[in-house]
Amino acid sequence: MAVDQSVNELFRPRAQKADGQIAQMRPSLTHFQQVTRKLVRNKLAMVGLTLIIMLIAMAIIGPHLVPYSYSDQSLLSANQEISSEHWFGTDELGRDMFSRTWYGARISLIIGISAALIDLVIGVTVGGIAGYMAGRGKKGDRIDTIIMRLIEVLYGLPYLLVVIMLMVVMEPGIVTIIIALSATGWVGMARLVRGQILQLKNQEFIMAAQVLGAKFPRILLRHLIPNTIGVIIVNLTFTIPSAIFAESFLSFLGLGVQAPIASWGTMTNDALGVILTGDWWRLFFPALMISLTMFAFNVFGDGLQDALDPRIRE
């Protein structure tokens, strides 16, 4: 009797519907729904996502909102301040800064996203092979060792130094920048994916797939990679702003895109020579866009990382 009373004090029965069935207290959610709910409730991450969408939208439609091309010159309109005619002012050649800023956004985003996607493909492939082959006999260990030694050598090299050396040797251009940024940029992704694969490959569902006769490519593509997609996406959101910043830095040094093509880095480089003359708008807007892009992708990546982490409760 005392036991029954203590149980009743500790536990409360669920509410019942009119038909006598126990009401479900909380509807079950899929993993995607749980991640989405946690991400939406993260206000800072939503601010970052909103900024990303706005930046991409303005990069597409921004240059078409004014009647000036990014390369149109008019010496009669040189170095004009912000006005109703030129919303972001003009530069020393009379080119409209509003059109150049958003055209530069296209170039910077294309380079950043392209380099990040190439890093993703190479990093996931190399890291997946290394992680799966590790511990699978002498041949597998040898393959893993060779790949990891290569990764360690590349990881030990200064990233920007390698990129600058490649830019000096190769002909300047958008494709060259993307290749240079991707030359060693995939190393971090490869190390991350390898670590994830090492944790997953001894799980029961992988062993079941092996018993059923699944080959290495199928196990990697159908079972291992999909279960690492969360950390891959998070890493991708951090790689994009890093590539954009690297492109801006190269263009600032004069190693990036060449005139008349505009990017945020080239615009910043052009503005430094006249910043002391009071033409503040020429440096302010491209620097602001670089800062906003870095902020937006990083806070969204942080929020996405928290949303995908099962250890963090709502």
User: Which pTM value belongs to this model?
Assistant: 0.82
Instruction: Name all domains of the chain by residue range, CATH numbers in brackets.
Output: 31-61+89-308 (1.10.3720.10)
87: exposed, middle or buried (Cβ count in 10 Å: 0-12, 13-18, 19+): middle
| Residue 304 CA neighbour count, 13 Å, CB half | 19
* Amino acid 19: pLDDT: 52
As given in the structure block, the two tokens for residue 92 are 């020393």
* Amino acid 25: pLDDT: 55
* Amino acid 80: pLDDT: 87
* Amino acid 20: pLDDT: 52
* Amino acid 56: pLDDT: 94
- The C-alpha atoms of residue 18 and residue 244 are separated, in whole angstroms, by 60
Q: Name residues of the chain where pLDDT drops below 50.
A: 1, 22
Helix 229-252 with 187-200: angle, nearest 10 deg: 170
- The C-alpha atoms of residue 115 and residue 106 are separated, in whole angstroms, by 14
Amino acid found at 154? L
State the DSSP code for 71. T
* Amino acid 248: pLDDT: 86
CA distances (Å), origin 202, targets 133, 163, 213, 214, 266? 12, 38, 16, 15, 50
* Amino acid 290: pLDDT: 92
- The C-alpha atoms of residue 62 and residue 106 are separated, in whole angstroms, by 10
